[in-house]
Structure 1
């Protein structure tokens, strides 16, 4: 069975966690949500509080070798807080080093920059972090989804269908669940 790891904490953009998670579940993927804490984490719908979700594991308890893919939702607060978590940085580096798909949307690529895994890579993101990505050595373009090797990046919630299709296709799964 294919296994996916989603990493998130308070401030995640609700649609960017719940919709990819549901697409993976619909495709038969076993999904684990890891966070720096076990308490429910707060989702956001732009700048308004949204739903919460309870993590399945702590960041320090999960290893890249146990999963087939990593998903990093956006939201301003989520990746900004995760950039300060050494276990999150380790996970990103380990997934990239193993050549496993890493999918980051909106502000999620901030974590890719922090992990120093985008130098020479082509990515996209929310406009406000594009300069940070360029400073980390990435070529930044403005398209709904970019695939560069094992990296998949998207810009915003409107791009979620394309993001989900690219992720499922990278895993060799049926993307019709996202249509």
Structure 2
């Protein structure tokens, strides 16, 4: 039984299309092109691209009708399968083109010199901080490092260094004052 809204096809329609029968192709076109277009539109979501895919599929059917094997499905199934594959290929092609275009734009973009300057400044500041950290006593440096780079609380630093909590607080406070003075930070 034919699908509602389509034209019924004779069993030999694709055989006649393969033999070059234009009337048979016209009947096939009328019968399957709405399903081909609907399949393409469902994948592509763009009427213009779907129309192009429909045209490509129908031309492919005209050229390859001799390859149709009725044991594998109806002419409509064969055509919509082609449409689905062609539409998926179109999606991949469009995405690949977008990726290439974006890569070209990224490659042609001028170097962000401010970003480079920020990196250089960050490295210089880190170098200054290392120099100032070297100016702390060993106990101050160890306490500050555990608290600020290790993320430990004062109590955890005290436990880790086996020292009294007030002693650790004093070491960290004195170390931070020395760092502030060394780095030239004003209050």
TM-score, normalised via structure 2 length = 0.20
- Give the greater-gyration-radius structure (CA): 2
Choose between structure 1 and 2: higher strand proportion. Answer: 1
Work out which structure has the larger RCO, using CA pairs closer than 8 Å and 6 or more positions apart in sequence. Answer: 1
Choose between structure 1 and 2: higher helix proportion. Answer: 2
